[in-house]
């Protein structure tokens, strides 16, 4: 129980003086234990934390954070952590309860705290929890990472939280973050360039689960939410609804519609074929792909999404 020494030893004072609850940091001088709630955020955290942290990600590759059900082992992960990184904006509706039941004293850091959020799309999230029930999700759209410039603000939040939690390694966190942020700046330019290659009249995204609000705002697309009713989070649309969808896609005149890696695409595929448009290769939305896939990291995922969208809509 010999805690509370860590923060007072830093030369630059000020930092963490009132941090007080530093018990987790004193676990034998090993890397600081950190939890990230979902895979995309885990990748951002890992790029900043590097070898100084021991990272556990709760919702893994190709898994849906919206419908995640924590297992007993997740309690232990939270209980051991010094810092828990979460997206915030009510993306992780299960986290409050898990955090509380774990007895964790970890610092919770909502990495979107400094971004300017967009309003949530209307037909999103939580519908599977009871259609008539009160809306579970917040008023803000949580999918901020699809705008690389906002992801950069998230990375800065990660950096600042790690510096505060583990001031001994502040220099490493700052250096890692600096390098990663410059990589993201290039990525943002690259995505912008791919987006600009799409003919303007084709810059419409029909997707099954409405995650592309930030992408659309940053890179100049329009999101058509008609297909949200085909999302696996909702029940299957009726024949009449499906026919209306098909007419809407035809009227838009786009060459392709999109599906994502955390949902079932059978119905989307049927709708695409009936509307005589392509179903583009699956986009990565709320989770990374498996490590060796084209969506294995945040940078790869964004690059893949941008070129998939550009290729599909230029056709």
207 binds Zn ion (CB under 5 A): no
Between 166 and 286, whose beta carbon lies closer to Zn ion?
A: 286
Nearer residue to Zn ion within complex by CB, 90 or 160: 90
**Minimum distance from CB of 84 to Zn ion (Å)?**
20
Q: Residue holding tokens 């999101």?
A: 223
Q: Two tokens at 241?
A: 């609804």
Cα–Cα distances in Å, from 167 out to 5, 20, 177, 280?
12, 14, 15, 46
Our CA dihedral for 102, 106, 112, 113, rounded to 10 degrees, sits at: 120
Nearest CB to Zn ion, comparing residues 15 and 67: 67
Give the DSSP H/E element, type plus range, for residue 19: none
Residue 43 as a binder of Zn ion (CB under 5 A): the answer is no
Nearer to Zn ion, 102 or 211 (CB): 211
User: Is the CB of 176 or the CB of 305 nearer to Zn ion?
Assistant: 305
Q: Scan residues 109-128 and list those touching Zn ion (CB under 5 A).
A: none
Instruction: Output the smallest distance, CB 189 to Zn ion, in A.
Output: 26
The first and second tokens of residue 281, run together, are 């290769």
* Least distance between Zn ion and beta carbon 221 (Å): 17
Residues in binding contact with Zn ion, number by CB under 5 A? 2
CB of 275 to Zn ion, least distance (A): 24
3-state DSSP percent of the chain in helix, strand and coil, to 5: 50, 10, 40
Q: Which residue is nearest to Zn ion (CB)?
A: 286
Cα 119 to Cα 54, 152, 174: the distances in Å are 34, 20, 32
- Selected binder of Zn ion within 271, 286, 295, 299 (CB under 5 A): 286
Instruction: Using the CB atoms, write b or e for 274-295: b if 16+ within 10 Å.
Output: ebebbbbbbbbbbbbbeeebbb
Which among 127-135, 146-154, 264-272, 286-294 is the span making contact with Zn ion, rule CB under 5 A? 286-294
Q: Decide whether 74 or 286 has the Cβ nearer to Zn ion.
A: 286
Binding region for Zn ion (CB under 5 A) out of 22-30, 93-101, 169-177, 281-289:
281-289
211 near Zn ion, judged by CB under 5 A: yes
**Residue (of 61, 14, 75) closest to 287 by Cα position:** 61
Residues that bind Zn ion (CB under 5 A): 211, 286
């Amino acid at each position: 129980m010999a805690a509370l020494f860590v923060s007072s030893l830093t030369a630059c004072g000020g930092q963490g003086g009132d941090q007080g609850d530093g018990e987790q940091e004193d676990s034998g001088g090993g890397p600081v234990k950190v939890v990230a709630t979902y895979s995309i955020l885990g990748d951002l955290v890992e790029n900043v934390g590097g070898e100084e942290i021991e990272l556990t990600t709760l919702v893994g590759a190709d898994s849906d954070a919206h419908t995640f059900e924590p297992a007993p082992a997740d309690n232990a992960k939270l209980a051991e952590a010094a810092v828990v990184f979460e997206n915030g904006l009510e993306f992780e509706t299960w986290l409050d309860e898990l955090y509380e039941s774990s007895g964790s004293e970890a610092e919770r850091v909502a990495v979107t705290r400094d971004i300017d959020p967009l309003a949530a799309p209307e037909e999103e999230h939580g519908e599977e929890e009871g259609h008539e029930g009160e809306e579970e999700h917040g008023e803000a759209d949580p999918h901020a990472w699809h705008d690389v410039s906002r992801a950069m603000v998230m990375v800065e939040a990660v950096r600042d939280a790690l510096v505060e939690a583990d001031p001994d390694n502040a220099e490493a966190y700052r250096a890692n973050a600096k390098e990663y942020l410059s990589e993201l700046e290039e990525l943002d330019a690259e995505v912008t360039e791919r987006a600009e290659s799409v003919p303007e009249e084709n810059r419409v995204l029909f997707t099954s689960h409405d995650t592309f609000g930030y992408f659309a705002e940053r890179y100049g697309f329009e999101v058509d939410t008609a297909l949200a009713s085909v999302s696996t989070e909702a029940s299957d649309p009726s024949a009449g609804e499906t026919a209306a969808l098909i007419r809407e896609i035809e009227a838009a005149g786009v060459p392709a519609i999109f599906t994502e890696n955390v949902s079932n695409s059978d119905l989307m595929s049927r709708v695409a074929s009936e509307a005589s448009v392509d179903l583009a290769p699956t986009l990565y939305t709320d989770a990374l792909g498996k490590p060796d896939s084209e969506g294995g990291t945040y940078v790869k995922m964004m690059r893949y999404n941008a070129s998939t969208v550009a290729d599909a809509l230029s056709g």
